[in-house]
Structure 1
Amino acid sequence: MTNNISSLPYPKGKFLLGNLPEFIRNPLEFITKCTYEYSDIVPLRIGFKTAFILTNPEHVEQVLKNQELFIKGQGFRILKMLMGEGLATTEGDTWFHQRRLAQPMFHNKQIATYADLMVGSTVQMLNNWQEGETRDIYADLERITLEILAKAIFSLDLSEEAAKALVLTTQEGAHWFEIKRKQSFLIPNWVPTPENLHIRNVVKQADKAIYEIISQRRISNSSKERKDLLSMLMEVRDAEDGSQMTDKQIRDQLATFMFAGQDTTRITLSWAWMLLSEYPEVQTKLLAELQEVLDGRLPTFVDLPHLRYAEMIIKETMRFYPAIPILSRESIKDCKIGDYQVPKGSHVIFAQWAMHRNPRYFEEPDVFKPERWANDLEKRLPRGSYFPFGDGGRICIGKAFAMMEMVLILATITQKIHLEIEPNHPIVAQLTFTLKPKHGIKMIVKKR
């Protein structure tokens, strides 16, 4: 039996704009309100577009798993301006071909080779921190996560010019996306608005740095001797047709890894230290685990299975402050979600922010409690109720890399430094494409 989706209760909107004003003003608050006040599927009218909010994890999982019926939402698609035709933005056969080529780079054996790099870069950063000084942890993590990615991807220290270009692209890209979101993505990227022209120029400078690195690697012909991601991209061949990636395809994959991987990792770690400062009992338990497992030495890849509480802190941080708090898909055919008919071209919205804080699935959802992840909670939860890395075939390919990086950086810094929130600094969560601290997170350094 198929039910009529238009018969479901929905939030009344404005005459012409529908629910657009509320959605643009504060999408997280609006979606959370809809989650608690309406049914499993909440019909919306976003201007002249048909949209639905999904609040049932079964429906969320159905959409995430079905790539043949649902493609990335419009918000994701406009990111082609930054990432090109990379894994995060392509669909169908193009995506499947790229995923098959990139998958070997993220096998556990390959990822393990980056552990010492992550710890070493973190220690080098800490050597510049002084007792009693105030640091913007969000800014510091921007530099270190970029450095780690650059060494993992390129096996080199970025020049100051290249680093500035890539950092600027991330920063300006977030600002540009926020403008586009407030415009409800109505103005195409090709329209020569001031913001579109500006971001094109910013991306051009980043491309110059990336293509120069690719060109130098081609000239040196040293890819076979190296084990970084760039070399693997240049050397990998499709198992079916023997094809290799073009420079443009390599550029798009590198841009995707740099822009998507670096920003989400530092955001999660920044929120983690803010929460540790607010919940000192959690930090005490973490220190006890670090003492038991490491006994004063630096963490390594083989320690990861034993740093269970550190991993729980990261999982709980991603529940509390998901780096990407909203996802959307668009139906490309008439189809069903649950027992409801959904017309082609519908925008389907589901929010990690709302699902991760839903008391139906998480006891005391507004309390930061890493212990909740003990005894394999993640496996016991309904699929679609917790998905910080997405799910289905398009689950983040860098999930294992990111989890290892976050646990190792968390352990390395906590072992050596106690961080306290600077009392007069405002901390405001700002939604762009990600959920970042608008004014950074300033913390006082106290060496252990």
Structure 2
Amino acid sequence: MATASQIENRPVIEVRGGYRLPPGLKRNLPLYLFSRFFRPGNPIRLFEYLAATFGRVSSYRIGPSRVVVINDPELIREVLISQPQNFIKERTQRRMKILLGEGLITSDGEIHKRQRRIAAPAFHRQRIQNYASLMVERAAAMRDSWQPSVEMDASAEMMRLALQIVARTLFNSDVTSDVQQINDEVNAIMRLYNFLVALPRAEDLLHLPIPGLMRFKRARKRLDAIVYRMIEVRRKSGVDGGDLLSMLLASRDDEADHTGMTDEQLRDEVLTIFLAGYETVANALAWTWLLLGQNPQAEARLHAEIDTVLGGRLPTLEDLPQLRYAEMVLAESMRLYPPAWAMGRQATSDVEIGPYKLPEGTYIFFSQYIIQRDPAFFPDPLRFDPERFTVENKTGRPRFAYFPFGGGNRQCIGESFAWMEAILTLVTLAQRWRLRLVPNQRIEVQPKITLRPKYGIRVVPGLR
């Protein structure tokens, strides 16, 4: 863990106005377009270069904006825990408001606090426990559908499974045509994600006939029509479907005006839960199959735990405390391939962080992908080693050396839901199958909202 004196000794560059900035790129970022480290579609390369060249804190300019990249756990704690009032979500995440509105991922300030208060009961531990058997049921059906020696894409299969689970838990529905269309439209919008982020002031240009924005608007219009119709039907029926939508409809802000969510607020949260709950777990599981295929000893230990704990029966919620190695496998997988690979904030005023004084408007990024591969916190960082997550090995590690679900008052509200889903589905599938990697395939990360395998992960199932 970095000490206060070590933080204070970070390199500082004095600039006009009395600001103190970290070292970094001398030219404006777009001027590095043809450099090996700058690929607009893969910002991870830039973050890797900055960390290797300038250390845990660096800076650059993109157009008129200044960006500071922080991969120091203590300084991240300052931003997220000590001074959250001085920051709002940065532009890239706020840009998602044109899809997610004022959902929990994108909202700030009092709106976020209110939405979190209303949504919290839907994610109460006792409530989400009811979904455990449903998750296992869906995973068991998928494992029964696999055929030995028939090649498949593990990433696509995990997406398919996660879609089935989110359809049931969010809407108490199978993957109906409505749910499938929501999925199709969200995926269409995600394919436009880099364009939407890169286009200056895209949210102010939606009325213009720009082809990419026109495709986005058409997809969003179709998406809204489906979601609003589902909300209207459920609200009129008054039926508690035992799902997250029913909980969101019934919840009230008991700390303030005792009112619930409007249809627009419900729409924003439904899409937020759909995207976050679907993409995050599916990608975590896909990367886990890759790592288990590359590390047969860890795979064998996982299978041994499953056999010992379950004895051939399907897992239940009560088994989770005994499935410790499965949890460690997933934790290590999310260390190497965090579904949420970066996050950011923007300073709302001049602010001091450690030895730095940053001007108002500065964008601050921290990347789970980078910091969770830092050898100071994880020796031999590219090695897959679930033992890093024993209680003993976690003790003494800085809080923000590992934060796949974020932190501070913006900690992911669905974290316990995601852990439960990931563990139960992993052990249900691994109880019967080993997934062997197809040799000589190209594995590459695709950093969009979540960290996807760009070309999928080709595997061949083999019975244990």
Normalising by structure 1, report the TM-score: 0.94
Question: Which residue of 2 is the match for residue 53 of structure 1?
Answer: 69
Greater Cα shift, 300-309 or 232-241: 232-241
Q: Over aligned residues, Cα RMSD in angstroms?
A: 2.0
Per-residue CA distance 1:345-364 (angstroms, 9 max, x = gap): 00011111110000111111
**CA distance in 2: counterparts of 1:172 and 1:318, whole angstroms:** 26
Q: How does 1:17-416 map to 2 (within 5 A)?
A: 17=30, 22=38, 24=40, 26-65=42-81, 66-159=83-176, 161-181=177-197, 183=198, 185=200, 187-188=202-203, 190-191=205-206, 192=208, 193-223=210-240, 226-239=241-254, 240-416=256-432
| Structure 2 residues not aligned, in runs of 5+ | 1-7
Per-residue CA distance 1:308-343 (angstroms, 9 max, x = gap): 000001110111011121111100111111121111
- How far has the Cα of 1:30 moved from its partner? 1.8
**Aligned-residue identity in percent:** 35
For residue 261 of structure 1, what is the amino acid of its counterpart?
A: G
Greater Cα shift, 358-367 or 194-203: 194-203
- How far has the Cα of 1:380 moved from its partner? 2.6
For residue 360 of structure 1, what is the amino acid of its counterpart?
A: A
**CA distance in 2: counterparts of 1:189 and 1:277, whole angstroms:** 46
**CA distance in 1: counterparts of 2:366 and 2:32, whole angstroms:** 16
Q: Residues 119 and 56 (structure 1 numbering): CA distance in 2 closer, same or farther, change over 3 Å?
A: same
Given that 1:18 and 1:46 are in contact with CA atoms closer than 8 Å, whether structure 2 keeps it comes out as no
Given that 2:21 and 2:357 are in contact with CA atoms closer than 8 Å, whether structure 1 keeps it comes out as no
Q: SS at 2:85's partner residue?
A: coil
For residue 253 of structure 2, what is the amino acid of its counterpart?
A: D
Q: Residues 376 and 83 (structure 1 numbering): CA distance in 2 closer, same or farther, change over 3 Å?
A: farther
Normalising by structure 2, report the TM-score: 0.91
Q: SS at 1:32's partner residue?
A: helix
Per-residue CA distance 1:148-185 (angstroms, 9 max, x = gap): 111111112231x223322223322322112234x365
**CA distance in 1: counterparts of 2:204 and 2:294, whole angstroms:** 41
Given that 1:74 and 1:185 are in contact with CA atoms closer than 8 Å, whether structure 2 keeps it comes out as no
Q: Residues 17 and 438 (structure 1 numbering): CA distance in 2 closer, same or farther, change over 3 Å?
A: closer
Q: SS at 2:460's partner residue?
A: strand
Q: Residues 7 and 336 (structure 1 numbering): CA distance in 2 closer, same or farther, change over 3 Å?
A: closer
Q: SS at 2:391's partner residue?
A: coil
**CA distance in 1: counterparts of 2:345 and 2:31, whole angstroms:** 20
Given that 1:18 and 1:45 are in contact with CA atoms closer than 8 Å, whether structure 2 keeps it comes out as no
Greater Cα shift, 135-144 or 355-364: 135-144
Question: Which residue of 1 is the match for residue 26 of structure 2?
Answer: 12
**CA distance in 2: counterparts of 1:11 and 1:117, whole angstroms:** 51
**CA distance in 1: counterparts of 2:93 and 2:195, whole angstroms:** 14
**CA distance in 2: counterparts of 1:228 and 1:215, whole angstroms:** 16
Question: Which residue of 1 is the match for residue 4 of structure 2?
Answer: none
